[in-house]
Amino acid sequence: MERGKNLINDLVQPVSKRLLLLMLLVTVGSEAVLLLSRYSYFFSDFYNLLMVGSITLAWKLHPRLAPAPRNAGLENGSTPFPSDSESFFGFGGGAPKRQIVSQFAVIFLLFYLGSIITNFYSNILYKDFNDNYAEYVEESAAAIESGLDGSGEDLAGPTRVFEWFDLVGYDFLSDTLAGFEEVYRISYIILFLMLFKKIFPHKWAKWPQEVFLMAVLFISSLLFGIGHTLANPQPWSVTLGTIATFTNMGLILGLLLLWSRNLWLLIAVHSVYDILMTIQWYYFDVAAPVFSGVLILAWIIETATRKKPNYQETSLKIGE
């Protein structure tokens, strides 16, 4: 409970006008650009530019999410206290560098498992959406295959490489930038938390603040789901399935973001997941399961060989 309250207090710290403008640009601005991309392909490229620009915002927002370690006693030359949030898989604080792979493995595997469950129920409940999605994947894969085959052997090696970039490169670029949608997510969470604190000051003081955190997590996830429908108009049955599926995926990502308190880690997980899905479309049907198996092995090795730090008892030097 205390950990959640500290997280919320960190998130609702005052923001400058410049930071507020950046957050609105990445959130509301990206929604507007996606809607405009229905009518002009130019705005699709502009959306990618927004994602690139969100790197700057990520540097600004990550410290709000990541807690500072409790360094009480450092002035007396003593050993730092372990951070309260470091006791669970090393998340939330300054974990050793060698644990980065382990942390990535845990978050990725949890998200991958959640996506499997989400897609399973989505396949049952939203058949039109899944049929439409499967058709899109098949058509995309067929277009790439025919494009590469159609180039024939007349093209020299370097030219064929550029042909590949023309056909597939944009997909992988979009997948890489998709990870920065986590900046969009944390920006919405912060904006709505600050809005609730401003509009409902008495309820903010009386109610558990975790209630507001879960509410804004759901709102940001719902907007994430709706955002996936803005660029391409679809029949209502397909649109509903898209919103439900990506809202659930957004909830999983949001929960993992708040648990890990590491924005860059979630950006990496989101990007790698999207890249693996594209590889599965075009090249290797079991790319994600194989990658997950490698991560499990890496996590086991890192956990088995991890040395637990020995924190010495902090002593107070009275009279110094």
- Confidence band for 16, pLDDT divided at 50, 70 and 90: very high
Res. 154: pLDDT tops 70? no
pLDDT at 119 over 50: yes
Q: Output the pLDDT for position 1.
A: 57
Instruction: Tell me which residue has tokens 């792979």.
Output: 101
Query: What pLDDT score was predicted for residue 4?
Result: 62
CA–CA gap between residue 161 and residue 173 (Å, rounded): 16
Pick from 287, 216, 229, 203: nearest CA to 34: 229
Q: State the Cα–Cα distance between residues 130 and 123, nearest whole angstrom.
A: 6
- Asked whether the beta carbons of 274 and 44 are under 8 A apart, the reply is no
Q: Percent of the chain, pLDDT > 70?
A: 80
Q: Say if residue 57's pLDDT is above 50.
A: yes
pTM: 0.84
In the predicted model, what is the mean pLDDT of the chain?
Answer: 83
CA 16 to chain CA mean position, Å: 24
pLDDT tens column, 67-81: 655 433 333 333 333
pLDDT tens for residues 252-270? 999 999 999 999 999 999 9
Nearest CA-CA partner of 14 in 185, 197, 203? 197
Residue in this structure with the two tokens 């991890």, named with its chain if needed = 306
Q: What does the alpha-carbon distance between residue 209 and residue 138 come to, in Å, rounded to a whole number?
A: 46
pLDDT in tens, 120-138: 999 999 999 999 888 888 8
Under 8 Å between Cβ of 15 and 23:
yes
Rounded percentage of the chain residues whose pLDDT exceeds 90: 55
Number of residues that this document lists for the chain: 320
* Residue 157 pLDDT: 58
pLDDT value, residue 113: 97
Higher per-residue pLDDT: 175 or 90: 175
Residue type present at position 225? G
Min mean pLDDT across 49-53, 197-201, 281-285, 304-308 is at 304-308
Question: What pLDDT was estimated at residue 153?
Answer: 55
pLDDT at 265: 95
Question: Of 2-11, 147-156, 167-176, where does mean pLDDT reach its minimum?
Answer: 147-156
Is the per-residue pLDDT at 184 higher than 80? yes
Q: What's residue 76's pLDDT?
A: 38
